[in-house]
């Protein structure tokens, strides 16, 4: 294998336009010259290093595969080249090319001399080849007549597609490498917020989001602070020693003396330790981020605009104009329009008991009658209607009565039947017992 790669790199070199070849050789000579001339270095040792590059076969393939490496200039460095003598054999059959901006399959193959009709034969039955991306590697082999025989497209670290000529047609074979999945227990005490502590604890950004989503219906992870504790079990896939992806199986956070759990059940959804399903619960706030309350729910408030005592039927969150607003639960839009005082507003009926309202919006993204899902973006916050500054006025109505959104009992799902709960408990048990501090 190493031998083949050496040959490849030599071939790539012989394939470069003349001026590039001259350039590479001169860079190599300059590099060499510096090694000799630098008085501060032991040039004999340096020289041995350089020669090692050529004698140690193991070190060459990796260089051959990474043309961006600083060694690339040194690589096609053969004594014959320095002398200016022509040396490379021309019977090259194997080629390799890394996709760059502007490359297409035809432009790449054609510049290496593959006939357009051959390329058409390949692309006709394999349309995916039009989706080449920068940085992917193409390698191909020609037969004795110089026609295309096989093409290999390294789509990603895990996926390779090979097109081989059979009976005048190129057929595609996909090769997908599976990594190793294993469970990982991550535990730690926060030194700051969750996102700031994540790296120290050993969590990736994606894993932090998974934890935030899993807990979102019962706890806002933005509130985690120094001294709070977290323990989580992730199933991680590692490929060539690197973590490629991971799945959260369970998490427990301890904040302000309280514990919050999110455990993945067999159906893929997260429940707390008592088996409550978050998907039917409400989001605590109609935004992804937490915002400051600028005016609380108050049945007898002095209105700052009208100077009259009037109930403030919701809570005001100060937020920049254009903040995405989310439906706090599944439901149906029953109003979405402009009104004098409310400005652009939306009303969602969630069930026979619960209704929510969102006011002063900049824009409305839903229509009356439309069904919405919990967490769905319904509009952008604004400063329309009777409003003294950019904010969201948010209301929750239960059985026709406005309630304090910060204190309201939000809908949770009905508890599981006793047999369902037994199944759930058995399923989560291996993860749950690991979630200890």
Point out which span in 7-15, 206-214, 273-281, 315-323 binds Zn ion (CB under 5 A): 315-323
Q: Residue 267 corresponds to which tokens in the numbers above?
A: 């159906």
Point out which span in 15-23, 70-78, 313-321, 402-410 binds Zn ion (CB under 5 A): 313-321
Residues forming a β-bridge with 153? 138, 161
CB-wise, 77 or 297, nearer to Zn ion?
A: 297
Residue 127 C-beta: closest distance to Zn ion, Å:
55
Residue 366 C-beta: closest distance to Zn ion, Å:
21
Point out which span in 10-18, 237-245, 280-288, 312-320 binds Zn ion (CB under 5 A): 312-320
Compute how many other C-beta atoms are within 10 angstroms of the C-beta atom of residue 306: 10
Residue 217 C-beta: closest distance to Zn ion, Å:
24
Residue 393 interacts with Zn ion (CB under 5 A)?
Answer: yes
Q: Quote the crossing angle between the two packed helices 205-215 and 194-201, to the nearest 10°.
A: 130
CB-wise, 96 or 316, nearer to Zn ion?
A: 316
Residue 99 C-beta: closest distance to Zn ion, Å:
54
Residue 356 C-beta: closest distance to Zn ion, Å:
14
Residue 360 interacts with Zn ion (CB under 5 A)?
Answer: no
Residue 395 interacts with Zn ion (CB under 5 A)?
Answer: no
Residue 374 C-beta: closest distance to Zn ion, Å:
23
Residue 316 interacts with Zn ion (CB under 5 A)?
Answer: yes
Indicate the residue whose CB is closest to Zn ion. Answer: 393
CB-wise, 232 or 392, nearer to Zn ion?
A: 392
Residue 312 C-beta: closest distance to Zn ion, Å:
6
Q: How far is the C-alpha of 221 from the C-alpha of 262, rounded, in Å? A: 12
Point out which span in 92-100, 333-341, 390-398, 407-415 binds Zn ion (CB under 5 A): 390-398
CB-wise, 374 or 393, nearer to Zn ion?
A: 393
Residue 313 C-beta: closest distance to Zn ion, Å:
8
**Hey, which residues between 1 and 60 contact Zn ion (CB under 5 A)?**
none
Residue 432 C-beta: closest distance to Zn ion, Å:
42
CB-wise, 8 or 356, nearer to Zn ion?
A: 356
Residue 347 C-beta: closest distance to Zn ion, Å:
15
CB-wise, 135 or 304, nearer to Zn ion?
A: 304
CB-wise, 311 or 368, nearer to Zn ion?
A: 311
CB-wise, 113 or 320, nearer to Zn ion?
A: 320
Point out which span in 52-60, 116-124, 333-341, 388-396 binds Zn ion (CB under 5 A): 388-396
Q: How many residues form the binding site for Zn ion (CB under 5 A)? A: 2
Point out which span in 107-115, 309-317, 403-411, 414-422 binds Zn ion (CB under 5 A): 309-317
Report the 3 state secondary structure along the chain. Answer: CHHHHHHHHHHHHHHCCHHHHHHHHHHHHHHHHHHHHCCCCCHHHHHHHHHHHHHCCCHHHHHHHCCCCHHHHCCCCCHHHHCCCCCCCCCCCEEEEECCCCCCHHHHHHHCCCCHHHHHHHHHCCHHHHHCCCCCEEEEEECCCCCEEEEEEECCCCEEEEEEEECCEEEEEEEECCCEEEEEEEEEECCCCHHHHHHHHCCCHHHHHHHHHHHCCCCCHHHCCCCCEEEEEEEEEEECCEEEEEEEEEEEEEECCEEEEEEECCCCCEECCCCCCHHHCCCCCCCCCCCCEEECCEEEEECCCCCCEEEECCEEEECCCCCEEECCCCEEEEEEEEECCCEEEEEEECCCCEEEEEEEECEECCCCCCEECCCCEEEECECCCCCCCCEEEEEEEECCEEECCCCCCCCCCCCCCHHHHHHHHHHHHHHHCCCCC
Point out which span in 203-211, 377-385, 389-397, 411-419 binds Zn ion (CB under 5 A): 389-397
Q: How far is the C-alpha of 196 from the C-alpha of 279, rounded, in Å? A: 28
Q: Which residues bind Zn ion (CB under 5 A)?
A: 316, 393
């Amino acid at each position: 294998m190493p031998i083949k790669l050496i040959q490849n790199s030599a071939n790539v070199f012989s394939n470069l336009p003349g001026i590039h070849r001259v350039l590479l050789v001169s860079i190599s000579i300059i590099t060499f010259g510096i090694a000799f001339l630098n008085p501060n270095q032991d040039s004999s040792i340096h020289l041995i290093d350089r020669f090692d590059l050529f004698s140690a076969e193991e070190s060459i393939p990796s260089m051959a595969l990474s043309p961006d490496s600083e060694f690339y200039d040194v690589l096609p460095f053969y004594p014959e080249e320095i002398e200016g003598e022509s040396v490379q054999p021309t019977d090259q059959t194997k080629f390799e090319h890394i996709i760059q901006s502007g490359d297409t399959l035809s432009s790449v193959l054609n510049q290496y001399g593959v006939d357009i009709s051959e390329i058409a034969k390949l692309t006709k039955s394999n349309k995916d080849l039009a989706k080449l991306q920068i940085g992917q590697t193409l390698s191909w082999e020609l037969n004795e007549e110089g026609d295309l025989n096989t093409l290999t497209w390294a789509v990603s670290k895990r996926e390779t597609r090979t097109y081989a000529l059979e009976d005048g047609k190129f057929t595609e074979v996909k090769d997908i490498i599976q990594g190793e999945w294993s469970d990982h227990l991550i535990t730690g005490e926060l030194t700051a917020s969750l996102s700031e502590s994540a790296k120290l604890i050993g969590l990736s950004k994606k894993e932090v989001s998974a934890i935030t989503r899993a807990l979102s219906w019962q706890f806002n992870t933005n509130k985690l602070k120094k001294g709070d504790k977290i323990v989580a079990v992730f199933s991680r896939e590692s490929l060539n020693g690197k973590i490629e992806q991971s799945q959260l199986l369970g998490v427990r956070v301890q904040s302000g003396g309280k514990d919050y759990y999110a455990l993945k059940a067999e159906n893929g959804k997260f429940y707390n330790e008592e088996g409550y399903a978050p998907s039917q619960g409400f989001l605590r706030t109609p935004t992804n981020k937490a915002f400051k309350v600028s005016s609380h729910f108050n049945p007898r408030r002095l209105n700052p605009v009208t100077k009259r005592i009037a109930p403030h039927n919701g809570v005001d969150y100060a937020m920049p104009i254009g903040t995405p607003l989310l439906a706090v639960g599944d439901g149906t839009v029953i109003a979405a329009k402009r009104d004098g005082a409310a400005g652009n507003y939306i009303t969602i009926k969630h069930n026979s008991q619960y209704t929510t309202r969102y006011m002063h919006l900049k824009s409305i993204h839903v229509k009356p009658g439309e069904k919405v899902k919990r967490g769905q973006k319904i509009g952008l916050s604004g400063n329309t209607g009777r409003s003294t500054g950019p904010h969201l006025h948010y209301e929750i109505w239960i059985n026709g009565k406005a309630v304090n959104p910060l204190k309201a009992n939000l809908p949770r799902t009905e508890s599981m039947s006793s047999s369902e709960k037994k199944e759930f408990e058995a399923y989560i048990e291996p993860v749950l017992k690991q979630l200890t501090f």
